A and B are shown apart, each in its own frame.
Chain A
Amino acid sequence: MADVAVRLTQLTKRFGGDATGRRVAKFVDGATPGDSILAVDHIDLEVRDREFFSLLGPSGCGKTTTLRMIGGFEQPTSGRIELAGEDVTWLPPYQRNVNTVFQNYALFPHLTVFENVAFGLRRRKVADGEVRTRVTEMLALVELPGYERRKPGQLSGGQAQRVALARALVNKPAVLLLDEPLGALDLKLRKQMQVELKRIQQEVGITFIYVTHDQEEAMTMSDRIAVMSRGRYEQLGDPEVLYEHPKTRFVAGFLGVSNLLPATRAGSVNGYAGFRLGSGTAVRVPLTLLEGRAAGYAVGVRPEKIRLFEPKDEVPAGLNQAPGVISDASYLGVSTQYIVTLADGHRVTVYEQNVQRATKAELWASGEQVVLAWAPEHCFVVEDGGATDTASIETPSPEPVVA
């Protein structure tokens, strides 16, 4: 299919286990020279043409290794890499129509900004005149006109970032690989560059594969995201699907805050699956949300989807409800964050916009009895690994899988 920019088939990278095992042992606590690290574990992936695709995951989950294999800097242990339908698995970097923006920018310190950007064109023996026009165009695109004669040492972090981008894009690669390119910038600049990167990507119409551990960054920019953990991705989809309907406990916890309540199936009634929570409360979930999930469920709901009622209030029909006690309230200005403890001791996070209740006196106070209510359609169902802590899931430890 022509509209697939990159296809990975069973792509695997194992570090060590042989002669390099000694070096691996130096890197990883507890590893012995014979051990090997499965950095990338049989990944199948299709990145579409002109798409902004993100690999999102905690540090050490194999994002960089995956990207480096696509770029040609790392040789896969097994599997296959195709670019626009062509098998490039064993081609060196300089024979792949792919360019990379490195996390530390990797600008050539001995060359001017102009020569940095022109480097790729010069390698392809592009005529001088054309080099000049294309470099000038590219510097205009990244909003650095007039910087041609500077050396990388005279640039700020944000400017160096733009030069690195220009240097890669000027070659009109089929795919641009970006490894946490904004990691070294301060928050304000990072936000600004996120918008800028998205604009540039749409302007040049090149496929971007973007690596980040920042879920907000991935959500802001990406058309689709693969959430990675321990050398594989747990779920792939557009940001909205990943947020609203995470498939696993890990994805639910990595993107935003979620409440996960272990539940047991209890029949189904006209399109809804019944569940019984640990506290004995019965809740309903649309049957369609169970698709693709193995048994052993937990029912999840995002904090902003829950509404709080007084016990004497009439809760609108059709909502799931669960009684609880407010155990903490933090006023955040735009909203208030409550921690509500259910009858079985589970703690649930709730965000309430400060609209109906806005002053201190009106907010719920610790110890007050409340009823949590949320629409069945706002639930999501994850396969439950059996963990019981439900408030907000911490990112799983970034320890590598030692095989």
Chain B
Amino acid sequence: MTATTAPITLAGPPRSVARRGARWIAGNLPWVYVGLVILYLVVPIAVIALFSFNDPVSKSNLVWHGFTLKYWLNPLGVPGLGDALATSLRIAFASTAVATVLGTLIALALVRYDFRGKGLANLLIFLPMATPEIVLGASLLTLFVQVGQPRSELTILIAHIMFNISYVVVTVRARLAGFDRNLEEAAMDLGANPWTTFWRVTFPLILPGIVAAALLAFSLSIDDFVITNFTAGPTVTFPMFIWGAARVGVPVQVNVIGTIIFVAAVGLVAISTLAQRRRSA
């Protein structure tokens, strides 16, 4: 008996380690797969964050030279960067606010009411999303020139509100589609007039959709380059600033700001997810 088992045991260790490894991978394949996907998604962001601590010798921040905190301590220490960032934030906040209000109202109208031209409206809402940005930007520029509107922060704002409305409508509409109209009837049944019904029942229930839409609109606005570039005139937004700087070498502060924006975005999403989970609990 021992004679027959011995050779196997002898040859065992290397082979069984490999086999155990293979079995482990097979058993945890979904996790391995998820891990790889996350790695794929995270690596570029990690590189940005890492290079915000780099201390490059030349203007280009492409090779690791050593650790420093000096750019984190002075994140706006590049001429023009602060202004560009402030412009982008202004436009992002304003376009998000306007697009979220208008888009939510449009979504309500499209889901709740039957009216002539509803089909056409539904189609037109998709157009800004379906049209290539470069075409949209170019045609907006033509339009502004035609009507004699000088390019400025205002024209950027108009452009951003336009494409943001589409995304808000689509996001809020999805939330409204699953909305139980009986809830509104129940509210009215209990003595709430249409105004109270909206603020006490409809609005709180579609709020997660509105928040998601607003977050999406904000991030679309703050990183838009193509359309902005066509409609900016002399105005410089944050993405335009980076584009300009990239020709000579992106300053490390851009990595710092990028990292901050990323952390803020993840934080916001985390907060809204947690809040929603608490509400439905």
Give residues in A with beta carbon < 8 Å to B. Answer: 23, 71-73, 92-94, 98-100, 102, 104, 106-110, 119-120, 123-124, 151, 153-154, 167-168, 171
Contact = CB atoms under 8 A, between A and B. Distances in A.
A31 B196 CA distance: 38
Interface string B188-199: 111111001000
B191 A73 contact: no
Interface stretch (B5-13, B177-185, B246-254): B177-185
Contacts of A119: 187, 190, 192, 200
Contacts of B189: 71-73, 93-94, 98-100, 168
B281 interface: yes
Given A110-B204, A120-B191, A151-B280, A93 B180 contact: no
B182 A123 contact: no
Interface string B242-281: 0000000000000000000000000000000000000111
A102 B190 contact: no
Contact of B196 (A73, A98, A102, A123): A123
Nearest to A123: B191
Given A151-B281, A153-B280, A124 B191 contact: yes
Contact of B180 (A100, A106, A168): A106
A94 B185 contact: no
A23 B187 CA distance: 26
B191 A102 contact: no
A190 B100 CA distance: 45
B140 interface: no
Nearest to A96: B189
Interface in B29-81: none
B204 A100 contact: no
A102 B114 CA distance: 25
Nearest to B184: A106
Contacts of A92: 188, 193
29 contacts: A23-B114, A71-B185, A73-B185, A73-B189, A94-B188, A94-B190, A94-B192, A94-B193, A98-B189, A99-B189, A99-B190, A100-B185, A100-B189, A102-B182, A102-B185, A104-B180, A106-B183, A106-B186, A108-B186, A108-B187, A109-B280, A110-B279, A119-B187, A123-B196, A124-B191, A153-B280, A167-B190, A168-B189, A171-B190
B101 to A, nearest CB: 21
Nearest to A117: B190
**Interface range on chain B (Cβ under 8 Å from partner):** 20 to 34
A106 B185 contact: yes
B215 interface: no
Nearest to B280: A153
Nearest to A19: B114
Nearest to B205: A110
A108 B196 CA distance: 14
B162 interface: no
A263 B146 CA distance: 89
Given A93-B189, A171-B191, 6 more contacts: A71-B185, A98-B189, A100-B185, A106-B180, A110-B204, A168-B189
A180 to B, nearest CB: 13
A223 B161 CA distance: 62
Contacts of A104: 180, 182
A93 B280 contact: no
Contacts of A102: 182, 185-186
Given A102-B185, A106-B182, A94 B280 contact: no
A119 B186 CA distance: 10
Contacts of B212: none
Contacts of A151: 280-281
B117 to A, nearest CB: 14
B201 interface: yes
Residue from B183, B186, B190, B204 having most chain A Cβ neighbours under 10 A = B190
B185 A123 contact: no
B197 to A, nearest CB: 8
A124 B188 CA distance: 12
Nearest to A118: B190
B52 to A, nearest CB: 41
Contacts of B280: 109, 151, 153
A354 B65 CA distance: 99
Nearest to A68: B185
Nearest to B281: A151
A93 B188 contact: yes
A131 to B, nearest CB: 13
Nearest to A71: B189
Nearest to B201: A108
Contacts of A120: 190-191
